[in-house]
Amino acid sequence: MFRALKLPLLIALILGAGIHGARAQWVSMNGPCGGLASKIVVKDTNLFVILRLAGVFESTNGGESWTEVLANSHVISLAASRNNIIVGTSLGLLVSTDDGASWLSQSLPESAPYLFQIPSEDTVVYAMTDNGTSDLLCSHDGGISWETISGAPVLAATRSGSTLYGVDGVEFFVSSDNGLTWKSSRGGWPEVNASDIATLDHDLFVSTTAGIFVSSDSGASWTPRNQGLKDLWVDMVKVIGDTLYAGTDYVGLFRSTDHGNSWSSISNGITSGMVSDIVVSKNISFIACGQGVFRSDNQGLFWQLASNGMPSLYVRTVCVTSSALFVGTYDEGLYSTTNGGEDWLAAVNGLTDFGVFGLAATSTRMFADTRDSGSFVSTDNGGSWTAVNSGPPAFASFRSTFVMPGTNIVFASGDRGFFVSADGGSGWRQADSGLTGRYISAVAFSGPWVYAATEDSGVFASRDTGMSWNRVSDSLPLNSVSILAGCKGSLVALSKGNLVRSDDSGKTWVPITLPSNASSIVTLLAHRGNLFVSTVGPNQGVYLSTDCGDSWEKVDEGLTQIVLQFAVEGNNIFAATGAGVWRRPLSEMITSVSPPTENIPSRFSLLQNYPNPFNPKTVVSGQWSVTSVVKLAVYDILGREVAVLANGKFPAGKYSFTFDGSNVSSGVYFYRLTAGGNTAIRKMTLIK
């Protein structure tokens, strides 16, 4: 579904950046780096942060750089006592007495992965168990020894005078004996899900999924204080000095200097919507967020990304537009670079799902396919995104988008059918007549033909830009097709890890022998008659075939990761991996990348529609010899435009379009085709 645009300037930048030596090999583009940071703590002058699915990282230079001190994908929580660093994981508790140089596993009375502390009190650490009873454990010696205290499912707590207050979800707890016992105090507690609690001048503040609530009577009653908050899903509330901070799930960080009566955004420079924690060290503010860590030297007036040294993100898809290289990550949103990976910026404004599994682009729009929330569209090169769910109800919830190379024609598959847009995604029409598949998983283009692969019914073909489809894969060994591509006039399909090929437009299929010792294919890319595949197995890697799968050559020198998706722009091939983006020049692997010339017509022409006369549908066909801006429109006898059958940039080829006259009256109509400076007009007759 990748669509590459010509981009000489960007390619020059990418070619000139990050090349390590002269040996032909894949090169990492150094990012994007960071990850979802859920907790950050200060111990002495050092910073420690949790990165989800990665572990714990430490900075000893004010966030200028980070070093991994614990590689553990099961880390859940983090605390810093006066002497030790304590980490809660789903597999047990770990303690470091030497700032992360070494770690000791601690034996606990029961599993307790959820750590918390009372703000400004570093002598006591609490841990909530996950045994179903929600007991609390308490340590007074930096996590070395623990005792069980009265059961209360507390995940965050604060102190006001001699009383402790805690929250967990929909419950509010009070402890009058310094945390030895806790009692539920629902009273006037609002029916909301609370995640954090803070104290300012004896007032209690809680962050919830319905905004910030405040109590001035020790929790007996609560009132919302959300004026100025742009997102009521608040993950964090903290007090630093006499200022309140609120971290939201989607629109960044907010600050209040008047006891929460009003809030103002202080997210200038923050390119992640979710902010989960904030600390101050040596007058420098640090936040943990969806992109890692940001720092501010001016009390939040401006923030800078501070994720140098953090691991590269899990990149699922890659796409090049006219001004930037974009990558979609597994769970951290979208990122872009305009200087070959030296700097990466988050491009998540408007996204509500940060699992981006597919990207496509026309000359005017970008499309991002997410894991759980369908497709999003951007008309400002990734600056902002909106869900593709406008228009009639049938257009709602696109799951995948596919762009015809060199054109503004976009196909989209959703929970209510298959659709096509001839103008880059502005207007849509239904395009699933004849399709019987439950969901379109892949689309391929070959001359005037469009092929659609379904998840459960094989492959279908259309010669009229999706107006009608015929099933062509009766002999396909496996119906479930995840990737479909054209290769020198043949079709290649990836189905359940296996490759098959059809040399007769999908009528018959034969297996393609996999590269040596490769047990399964992860992804494939067809580019100008060449196939690239990523494999797993004893001899996993990247393989190239210049004969559509008859023979293979391994071409993964320097690449240490499994490739999840390929993309090509100019003379470069890009690889999305679980550790960022990699790049390699095509010229290192392919001696010739000249474009294919099969099925290219030699001249422009517009054919007579068939049938004619007709009622109510007829097919109009035309051809042109070069890639052209094309418009095919139907006019009544007074010259009024009654239908547009095609409007956009099309590659050279022969095309057929269907005109449906159901909504117009009987009579004579004219259809006009313009392409590449050529124009032709013909007449047709509708008889009802």
- Name the band, by pLDDT with cuts 50, 70 and 90, for residue 5: very low
Map tokens 């996590």 to a residue.
Answer: 143
Residue 112 CA to residue 466 CA, distance in Å, equals: 56
The pTM of the full predicted model, rounded to 2 decimals, is: 0.64
Question: pLDDT tens digit string along 622-672?
Answer: 888 887 888 999 999 988 999 988 887 777 777 878 888 999 999 999 999
Question: pLDDT tens digit string along 250-269?
Answer: 888 999 999 999 999 999 88
Question: pLDDT tens digit string along 108-126?
Answer: 767 778 899 998 888 899 9
Give burial (CB, 10 Å; 0-12/13-18/19+) of 492.
buried
- Determine the Cα angle at 633 with ends 631 and 635, to 5°: 150
386-396 average pLDDT score? 55
Residue 318 CA to residue 202 CA, distance in Å, equals: 51
Question: Domain extents for the chain?
Answer: 6-28+312-387+518-580, 33-140+278-311, 150-265, 394-512, 605-686
- CATH class of segment(s) 394-512: mainly beta
Q: Are 182 and 172 in contact (CB under 8 A)?
A: no
Q: Give the pLDDT of residue 478.
A: 58
Q: Give the pLDDT of residue 245.
A: 97
Provide the CATH number for the domain formed by 33-140+278-311 in this structure: 2.120.10.30
Number of neighbours of residue 3 by Cβ within 10 angstroms: 23
Provide the CATH number for the domain formed by 605-686 in this structure: 2.60.40.1930
- Name the band, by pLDDT with cuts 50, 70 and 90, for residue 595: very low
Q: Give the pLDDT of residue 9.
A: 30
Residue 47 CA to residue 62 CA, distance in Å, equals: 7
Question: What is the arrangement of strands in the sheet containing 203-208, beginning at the earlier edge strand?
Answer: 194-200, 203-208, 211-215, 223-224
- Determine the Cα angle at 40 with ends 243 and 579, to 5°: 135
Residue 533 CA to residue 51 CA, distance in Å, equals: 31
Residue 102 CA to residue 74 CA, distance in Å, equals: 17
Answer whether 150-265 and 394-512 agree in fold. yes
Which residues make beta-bridge pairs with 485?
492
> How many residues belong to the chain?
688
- Predicted confidence (pLDDT) at residue 20 exceeds the cutoff of 70: no
Which residues make beta-bridge pairs with 631?
647, 674
Q: State the fold for domain 150-265.
A: Neuraminidase (2.120.10)
Which residues make beta-bridge pairs with 547?
none
For 117-193, list the strands marked E by DSSP: 125-128, 136-139, 147-149, 156-160, 163-168, 171-175, 183-184
CA torsion 622→624→630→632, rounded to 10°? Answer: -10
For the chain, the C-alpha Rg in angstroms (whole number) is 30
Residue 80 CA to residue 65 CA, distance in Å, equals: 20
Q: Are 581 and 572 in contact (CB under 8 A)?
A: no
Q: How far is CA 566 from CA 92, 411, 489, in A?
A: 39, 20, 21
